[in-house]
Amino acid sequence: MTHVTYGIFRAGVRDPGKTLASYAGQKPIPTPYPSASASIARFHREGPDQAWNALDQALASSSYWGQSGTPQAGWANAIRDCFQVYRTLAEPDQRIPIATGVNRELVLPPDDIGVHVDVVLLDPNGYSPRVVLWDSNPLSHNRAILYGAPVWRAMQEELGEGRIVGVEIWKLRTGDQEFVSPAEAEAAMPEVVQIARRIAGA
């Protein structure tokens, strides 16, 4: 069984040329995304002010991200701006978070996709998983459907059939909010399987 990370899966959605072989030998590039993702979990567990302070301090105290006037400092500042966008969008939402930073393996034989969900919210009609995007890649509704389909399937397996009201895909660089319905996600699953197979090199 070949494992495809959620980040590589999304890259494969954007670029048909992406395969696991294309990543072979590449050194991992440091990114501020782990701190960014942690800030979303903290936002929903501890509150927006605590999340902002922790994110800002983590970036400022870093020997890599805290250097002023460097490209990586600019990237860190973009993450700060994105957090404020998330805060603006999320604070009015009164739904209760039931889980944050959820990682699941979605088995699609002979492959599996590692799915990451930033927060799962208790919705009046079930559960609403939310995926937060911090990058600058364009987001269309069709692309959001492909990002959201494996999330829908994994969360349905976790929480029960028919209990996922849809998947929210939020792109913080632009403030775009896409909603993927269960019908859209289910219809996209054959293409998700094909993309995973292509990435795996089959």
Which domain covers residue 58, as residue numbers? 31-92
Query: Are residues 63 and 117 both part of a single domain?
Result: no
Are the beta carbons of 115 and 82 closer than 8 angstroms?
A: no
pLDDT tens digit sequence for 67-97:
766 777 788 999 999 999 999 999 999 999 9
pLDDT tens digit sequence for 9-20:
999 999 999 999
The yes-or-no verdict on residue 152 having pLDDT over 80 is yes
Query: Are residues 100 and 172 both part of a single domain?
Result: yes
pTM: 0.94
Query: Are residues 129 and 152 both part of a single domain?
Result: yes
Which tokens is 56 given? 């800002």
CA distances from 130 to 53, 88, 115, 193 (A): 22, 15, 12, 21
pLDDT tens digit sequence for 21-66:
888 777 777 888 999 999 999 999 999 999 999 999 999 888 777 7
Query: Are residues 62 and 110 both part of a single domain?
Result: no
Measured CA to CA, the distance from residue 49 to residue 86 in angstroms comes to 12
Query: Are residues 164 and 86 both part of a single domain?
Result: no
Which residues on neighbouring strands pair with residue 58, listed in sequence order? none
Query: Are residues 68 and 109 both part of a single domain?
Result: no
